[in-house]
Structure 1
């Protein structure tokens, strides 16, 4: 295909060829024929040149969090015996979740000439500014003749993908509040002595390095230790409210911004609990239940679901009822935009089924409607109201650092979170 410059040359040459006989000027005819010949030769040049080939395409790492570094590495091979010209590369990329897909062209660069039968490695950073399934490729390659009169586009390579996990804040795990009336401890019936193997768990400060299980550590990309004694842990359940109906009311958050903050909060709490050694469980109002688990593979399972999560239809009452059928006990953290008053009593069973409860609401600093607050009949619930997009980490830090003698968090600096009565 001719470039604008090529079309200009071809049209001008055609005019000169037509004007030569009219004005009796053989020079005009010769110049016109020469210009048209150059344009035709440029088309032939880009048609006969062989395109480059992609011999390897890799994304490292393939699981990253929002804002982390992710590199694409491409190996280009010149199959021709001739030196390749300067080529322009473009990369088609997209971010997708369960309900949306955004396409964009993020890479536009020049590839240096490659000697015949040789290779060139190209590396570039992929965008990780938002969570979702990041797909990259195939590459658009544009070949241009040396004069820039013609060009030809090729599509080379296959698509590759990486998962961009939600942003995770370095927060503390949910506090184990006193006065629990439930047995939140599980013990292995197989462990009859401190010398018998109970299982594997992530390495914690103070563990004996001789107990590191190197094969599992290499597989999970973190240190894993053998557990030889009875091990007690807390069960932590994070309930994420993904109902799109609660994203409509006005507040300091935008709709997308609010949901992203909620997903990041849920991921941060799950990660902090897993690092403490808790059995972690994620439940959403869209009928997802990860089950309990404490290893890194289970945490990545939660991350993968949160990566693709979108506001959807669901029922808070149904999610709570599902939780009530389980063993209960331990901790439960509700992450929501608001508690909808159209489901009266939907949270009642949380007060009788879990020993420690925390509600994290991403709402206005002063909710205009009473139904946006948890009902007063939820006993012993700590309430955090997050009134700005980046306020979760600070509010959660104040909550975990507060005295464990109180079930209700005192107001952190800069927050107007109300303190409902148990």
Structure 2
């Protein structure tokens, strides 16, 4: 109950009382008794005061990207008959990904006194420098006396959580190849927009409120939206390399974060264009195709918690090879050694356009050569160099690997 200052005062007062009695000094005895009385009264003060009552706690927004603002909002009320004392507020915050969890305490906040039956809203910003799941709580309120000699702690067990999505790069979608027969595919009836009415379905997160069918909503006692059928001209598949054998060291952390952000950014840019987007990883995750906001958030949620894992590039390619294929493929890879070219060769006939974004340091100052025919290779030697390499690729209008090349350059790109 006593703070370090309070204990120092109490022990010092007890020594003064003892010295006064030993030396027969009334002055020392009086000062010691007064100091002990202050310590005792401070304890009585904090025991008599009641803290504010926490009405609700919320995190807004509950899904943010790295670097975006996320606030914790606390609504509190004073249920006592007297004005509340000055309170010190602190939250326990835990941050977790798929493979690790860390905890820390938020900075202390001072809450001003609140009059009887009044309410108060307190807000502070959560750190969003890293992606992952952030859980806030329990909350600790501390009541202290005016001299900070005593303190009493009250804990409230309610928790709230938010997801911090990967950082996003301002990039464009992968370029389409003109005249490709693979790209004309019918979109799912769950599409968000179009000209042909397909039917009705329950409202989902990310739906356009203008699509709500109010008569059916009133009849079913829940929001019902119109769903439309339309044609999409591109399927985009993003393959993310998460092999722990290549990304398991602490030095590779920045490179892996750049790869995750690149995959998320490509998915978002493709979805904004109206593509059917799919994310697969070498750790056997497959989001399936989708084009609405709910599907994009499903991809974000997985990428928010992803970490280097087991798996092989060959296994992911084999899964793609068993399907009909078509559309665009963007592979975000960590490294290329003697086994990757052979494992990626089956993709040669499966997709109309193939791009490999290679996050690997250049050897000898030279980027690695292209290893699959009709494939664009974007070497990224530094994590910060992705946006520049991708900007040149996305604005090209066609895959650079389809342009005519001289026999000398073609032989230079051919691996032994």
Fold shared, TM-score > 0.5 on shorter chain:
yes
C-alpha contact (below 8 Å) 2:370/2:414 kept by paired residues: no
User: How far off its partner does 1:101 sit?
Assistant: 1.6
Q: 1:173 to 1:248 in 2, by over 3 A?
A: same
- The residue aligned with 1:383 is 377
Q: 1:198 to 1:239 in 2, by over 3 A?
A: same
Correspondence 1:243-258 to 2 at 5 A: 243-247=243-247, 254-258=251-255
- The residue aligned with 2:153 is 153
Correspondence 1:273-352 to 2 at 5 A: 273-342=270-339, 345-352=342-349
The answer to whether the aligner puts 1:127 opposite 2:127 as a matched pair is: yes
Q: Give ranges in structure 1 of 5+ residues lacking alignment.
A: 201-209, 217-223, 411-418
C-alpha contact (below 8 Å) 1:59/1:70 kept by paired residues: yes
- The residue aligned with 1:187 is 186
SS at match of 1:73: strand
User: How far off its partner does 1:342 sit?
Assistant: 4.3
The answer to whether the aligner puts 1:213 opposite 2:216 as a matched pair is: no
User: How far off its partner does 1:212 sit?
Assistant: 5.0
SS at match of 1:391: helix
Correspondence 1:160-239 to 2 at 5 A: 160-178=160-178, 180=180, 182-187=181-186, 196-198=196-198, 213-214=211-212, 227=228, 230-239=230-239
C-alpha contact (below 8 Å) 1:13/1:36 kept by paired residues: yes
- Take 1:130 and 1:408, find their aligned partners in 2: how far apart are those partners? 39
- The residue aligned with 2:113 is 113
C-alpha contact (below 8 Å) 1:90/1:107 kept by paired residues: yes
Q: Deviations over 1:270-329 (max 9, x none)?
A: 011111111110000111000001111100000000000001111111111111122201
User: How far off its partner does 1:214 sit?
Assistant: 4.9
- The residue aligned with 2:262 is 265
C-alpha contact (below 8 Å) 2:353/2:399 kept by paired residues: no
User: How far off its partner does 1:420 sit?
Assistant: 3.5
Q: 1:408 to 1:8 in 2, by over 3 A?
A: farther
Q: Deviations over 1:60-90 (max 9, x none)?
A: 1111111112121101222221111111111
- Take 2:327 and 2:413, find their aligned partners in 1: how far apart are those partners? 22
C-alpha contact (below 8 Å) 1:383/1:409 kept by paired residues: no
C-alpha contact (below 8 Å) 1:240/1:335 kept by paired residues: yes
The count of residues paired between Structure 1 and Structure 2 equals 387
The answer to whether the aligner puts 1:242 opposite 2:242 as a matched pair is: yes
Q: 1:199 to 1:286 in 2, by over 3 A?
A: farther
User: How far off its partner does 1:117 sit?
Assistant: 2.9
- Take 2:364 and 2:355, find their aligned partners in 1: how far apart are those partners? 18
**Over aligned residues, Cα RMSD in angstroms?**
3.0
Q: 1:247 to 1:312 in 2, by over 3 A?
A: same
SS at match of 1:407: helix
C-alpha contact (below 8 Å) 1:53/1:157 kept by paired residues: no
C-alpha contact (below 8 Å) 1:212/1:226 kept by paired residues: no
User: How far off its partner does 1:390 sit?
Assistant: 1.8
Q: 1:118 to 1:367 in 2, by over 3 A?
A: farther
Q: 1:199 to 1:335 in 2, by over 3 A?
A: farther
TM-score by length of 2: 0.85
Q: Which shifted more, 43-52 or 86-95? A: 43-52
Q: Give ranges in structure 2 of 5+ residues lacking alignment.
A: 201-207, 215-224, 405-411
Q: Deviations over 1:234-255 (max 9, x none)?
A: 1110000001111268xxx941
